[in-house]
């Protein structure tokens, strides 16, 4: 266990969270709460635990996958068979001490296990119960399986992702899963603030579908503004042009001429000032309409110099630009190190492993790794002792 940063009490210290979730959305939400100081207790099935412990097809040293390790720091683990009356009694003891429960089963599963919101609310009226599912607890799609790919497809997101006139492409990052986790975290924190005023808990629902749709700000604006569903643009932008990736002499880079000033600066850098006299490109609205024609006219120019030369020249002129890095390059960059976005976490089996750092920083109460990702049922005995001492289990 690592001491909290600077010895200051973290914002969620004293808040207990029961993580009754698996794989990504629920565990990511609970890890974020744990990073802010919450006491997160991961409730896992006996023997196998969270199914992501055995996912990904590769390992470091131990049996738990790197995916599990990436999503479960700052948690304690207890293995409970929620179909067993004895283990369910232990869970109820934990629920009476909890501020938050997070589950991500299909609608109805928690109720069948006897751990649904109404059951736990009767024991603990101040409980905040967050349910993350594929499509939410109601509506005609509610019982469909909750997978990021399906949410991206049915939300419309995939219809606007990828290259023009090519087969559908999903976003490489699972925005449905991770977006649902972020929206659930936002809902939980809001409910905690509300409970401080009223003393009452509430039910919070988030879904992969609503997260993918809720992040589709520009795309839905285009639909309602034009009456036409947006199409894939590759790396181009719906609101500005030119704003995308292009090929230099030795690779690809991106730039963003997002307003008229930047457009004119771009033309000066590349020596193509005549393009501003073309009525197809004289202002942003017509450049967006003619973006594919414009980029074809620019390609031969960009092919004459290297990525580093173009990026340096554009930045010097105030035009946003950058190389396209793979993850190895990005994680090795000086900026990534300066922002502490890679950390080493000590682990009883792995020795230590690399993990992403905290993507939001708090100046007075910085996050810290208080617990490494737990072994299955690592804290089961101590949690049972704690409940017995409080008279919550026999």
H helix runs in 207-333, sequence order: 208-214, 217-226, 260-270, 284-289, 291-302, 307-316, 327-331
pLDDT of residue 57: 77
User: One fold for both 5-215+335-389 and 243-247+252-323?
Assistant: no
Helix (H) or strand (E) holding 206: strand 203-207
DSSP 137-163: SSSTTTTS---HHHHHHHHSGGGGSS-
| pLDDT band per the 50, 70, 90 thresholds, residue 4 | very low
Q: What percent of the chain has pLDDT over 70?
A: 98
In the numeric block, which tokens belong to residue 299?
A: 């390609």
Residue 2 pLDDT more than 60?
A: no
The residues that are catalytic are 177
Mean pLDDT computed over 234-238? 94
| pLDDT band per the 50, 70, 90 thresholds, residue 7 | low
Mean pLDDT computed over 344-354? 96
Mean pLDDT of the chain: 96
Residue 24 pLDDT more than 80?
A: yes
Residue 1 pLDDT more than 80?
A: no
User: What is the rounded distance in angstroms from the CA atom of residue 155 to the CA atom of residue 169?
Assistant: 13
pLDDT of residue 5: 46
pLDDT of residue 26: 98
Any idea what the Cα angle at residue 327 is, between residues 242 and 317, rounded to 5°?
A: 35
pTM of the model: 0.94
Mean pLDDT computed over 263-282? 97
CATH 3.30.1280.10 for domain 5-215+335-389: no
Read off the pLDDT of residues 52-87 as tens digits, 9 standing for 90 and up: 999 877 878 888 999 999 999 999 999 999 999 999
Residue whose token pair is 């089963």: 105
245 Ramachandran zone, left/alpha/beta (phi>0; psi -120 to 50):
beta
Mean pLDDT computed over 377-391? 97
Mean pLDDT computed over 233-259? 96
CATH 3.30.1540.10 for domain 243-247+252-323: yes
Q: What is the 3-state secondary structure (H, E, C) of 41-108?
A: EEEECCCCCCHHHHCCCCCCCCCCCHHHHHHCCCEEEEECCCCCHHHHHHHHHHHHHCCEEEECCCCC
In the numeric block, which tokens belong to residue 177?
A: 């899963």
Read off the pLDDT of residues 301-310 as tens digits, 9 standing for 90 and up: 999 999 999 9
Read off the pLDDT of residues 135-172 as tens digits, 9 standing for 90 and up: 999 999 999 999 999 999 999 999 999 999 999 999 99
| pLDDT band per the 50, 70, 90 thresholds, residue 6 | low
Boundaries of every domain in the chain: 5-215+335-389, 243-247+252-323
Residue 361 pLDDT more than 80?
A: yes
Read off the pLDDT of residues 310-348 as tens digits, 9 standing for 90 and up: 999 999 999 999 999 999 999 999 999 999 999 999 999
């Amino acid at each position: 266990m690592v001491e909290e940063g600077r010895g200051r009490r973290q914002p969620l210290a004293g808040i207990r969270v029961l993580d009754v979730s698996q794989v990504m959305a629920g565990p990511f939400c609970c890890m974020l709460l744990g990073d802010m100081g919450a006491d997160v207790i991961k409730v896992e099935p006996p023997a196998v635990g969270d199914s992501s412990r055995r996912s990904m097809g590769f390992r470091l040293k131990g049996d738990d996958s790197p995916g599990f390790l990436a999503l479960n720091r700052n948690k304690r683990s207890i293995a409970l068979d929620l179909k067993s009356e004895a283990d369910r009694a232990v869970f109820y003891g934990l629920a009476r001490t909890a501020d938050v429960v997070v589950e991500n089963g299909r609608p109805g599963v928690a109720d069948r296990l006897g751990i649904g919101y109404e059951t736990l609310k009767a024991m603990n009226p101040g409980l905040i119960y967050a349910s993350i599912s594929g499509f939410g607890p109601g509506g005609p799609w509610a019982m469909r399986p909750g997978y990021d790919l399906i949410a991206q497809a049915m939300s419309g997101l995939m219809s606007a992702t990828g290259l023009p006139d090519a087969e559908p492409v999903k976003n490489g990052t699972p925005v449905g899963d991770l977006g649902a986790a972020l929206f659930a975290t936002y809902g939980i924190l809001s409910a905690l603030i509300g409970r401080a005023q009223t003393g009452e808990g509430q039910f919070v629902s988030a879904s992969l579908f609503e997260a993918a749709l809720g992040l589709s700000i520009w795309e839905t604006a285009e639909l309602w503004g034009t009456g036409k569903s947006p199409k894939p643009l590759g790396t181009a932008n719906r609101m500005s042009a030119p704003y995308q990736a292009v090929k230099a002499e030795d690779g690809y880079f991106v730039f963003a001429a997002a307003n008229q000033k930047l457009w004119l600066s771009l033309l000066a850098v590349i020596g193509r000032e005549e393009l501003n006299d073309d009525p197809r490109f004289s202002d942003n609205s017509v450049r967006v309409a003619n973006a594919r024609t414009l980029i074809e006219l620019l390609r031969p120019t960009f092919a004459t110099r290297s990525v580093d030369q173009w990026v340096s020249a554009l930045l010097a002129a105030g035009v946003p630009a950058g190389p396209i890095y793979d993850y190895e390059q990005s994680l090795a960059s000086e900026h990534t190190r300066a922002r502490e976005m890679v950390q080493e976490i000590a682990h009883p089996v792995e020795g230590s492993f690399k993990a992403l750092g905290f993507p939001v920083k708090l100046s007075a109460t910085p996050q810290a790794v208080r617990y490494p990702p737990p072994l299955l049922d690592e804290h089961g005995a101590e949690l049972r002792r704690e409940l017995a001492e409080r008279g919550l289990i026999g």
